[in-house]
């Protein structure tokens, strides 16, 4: 099994573990994602929304993006995206379009915000959110292994690793096509996706087909579970760490979490750069007493 479940004893232990993972670069590189409900499995909004429909038809994705683009034009909203399909896909995703993109952050604290955003420590059975830490080196080794015929060929294997991790292959391919049955890493978001910049974001593009049989994975998390750790790579450190770490975080920690995040300047306002983010901060202040929620307004007679 390559998904490790961890349950820290308190918020201090959780922060220490997350900070440690984020500082392992470049020996290991982790990116992080927060989800409010720990029962949710990793899944793109496209897979979730169109469950039961024929998936990952390139024409259908193009049609969705084109329809979104027409709506933006009718509203008179100005963009500088031109005809870059990848830029439009990212822009549409961050305005709510179900897309085959899953966003992660280089910051575990951004992920922690999303694991608790909107939570109210209400009465009822105990619930928890989750922060995922995705081991990019382990994932890259697996994707390279699937692409090359001879993993012992150092040059070919190294090239496949670089394609996945560093060469912007994912972003460049999406400029002109939305390929099926692919998992691509997009290290740098498009220049126009301001929210992703503020959130230190990266993308996974996933059009892997799920649910093909009883032994096949039915979502991205199950796909990652089947990756064999410890695969010897001639190019990256050989380690037996999991490709995915899932940290379970009780909702009862919500007050402590937002109190810590506020002094790190991690908030809805700083990450959404909009009135929507400011509204999130008001909603989340239900759980704690913010220290910097207001501004002074001087009056002159």
Q: In Å, how far from its chain's centre is CA 10?
A: 24
- Mean pLDDT (the chain, rounded): 84
Per the model's pLDDT, the better-predicted residue between 43 and 11 turns out to be: 11
Q: Which residues contact 141 (CB under 8 A, 6 or more apart)?
A: 161, 231, 233, 236
Per the model's pLDDT, the better-predicted residue between 263 and 168 turns out to be: 263
Share of the chain above pLDDT 70, in %: 87
Q: Which residues of 65-91 are buried (b: 16+ CB within 10 A; e: fewer)?
A: beebbeebeeeeeeeebeebbbbbbbb
Measured over the CA atoms of residue 193, residue 195, residue 200 and residue 204, the dihedral's sign is negative
Q: At what angle do helices 108-116 and 11-22 cross, to 10 degrees?
A: 140
- Give the 3-state secondary structure of residue 35: strand
* Interatomic CA distance for residues 46 and 208, integer angstroms: 11
Enter the pTM of the model.
0.89
Per the model's pLDDT, the better-predicted residue between 59 and 287 turns out to be: 287
pLDDT per residue over 80-121, tens digit each? 777 888 888 888 888 888 888 999 999 999 999 999 998 876
């Amino acid at each position: 099994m390559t998904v490790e479940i961890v349950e820290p004893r308190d918020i201090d232990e959780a922060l220490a573990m997350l900070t440690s993972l984020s500082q392992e670069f470049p020996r290991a590189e982790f990116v992080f994602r927060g989800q409010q409900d720990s029962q949710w499995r990793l899944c793109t909004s496209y897979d979730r929304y169109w469950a039961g429909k024929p998936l990952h038809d390139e024409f259908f994705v193009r049609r969705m993006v084109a329809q979104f683009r027409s709506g933006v034009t009718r509203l008179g909203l100005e963009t500088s995206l031109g005809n870059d399909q990848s830029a439009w896909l990212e822009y549409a995703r961050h305005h709510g379009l179900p897309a085959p993109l899953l966003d992660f952050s280089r910051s575990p604290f951004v992920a922690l915000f999303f694991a608790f955003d909107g939570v109210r420590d209400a009465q009822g059975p105990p619930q928890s959110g989750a922060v995922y830490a995705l081991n990019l080196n382990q994932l890259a080794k697996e994707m390279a292994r699937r692409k090359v015929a001879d993993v012992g060929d150092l040059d070919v294997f190294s090239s496949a690793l670089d394609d996945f991790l560093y060469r912007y292959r994912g972003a460049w391919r999406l400029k002109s096509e939305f390929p099926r049955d692919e998992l691509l890493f997009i290290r740098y978001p498009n220049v126009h996706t301001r929210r992703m910049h503020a959130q230190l974001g990266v993308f996974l593009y996933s059009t892997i087909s799920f649910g093909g049989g009883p032994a096949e994975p039915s979502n991205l998390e199950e796909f990652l579970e089947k990756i064999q750790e410890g695969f010897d790579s001639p190019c990256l450190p050989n380690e037996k760490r999991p490709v995915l770490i899932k940290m379970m975080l009780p909702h009862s920690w919500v007050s402590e979490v937002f109190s810590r995040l506020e002094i790190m300047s991690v908030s809805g306002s700083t990450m959404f750069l909009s009135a929507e983010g400011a509204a999130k901060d008001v909603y989340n202040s239900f759980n704690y007493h913010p220290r910097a929620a207001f501004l002074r307004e001087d009056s002159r007679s």
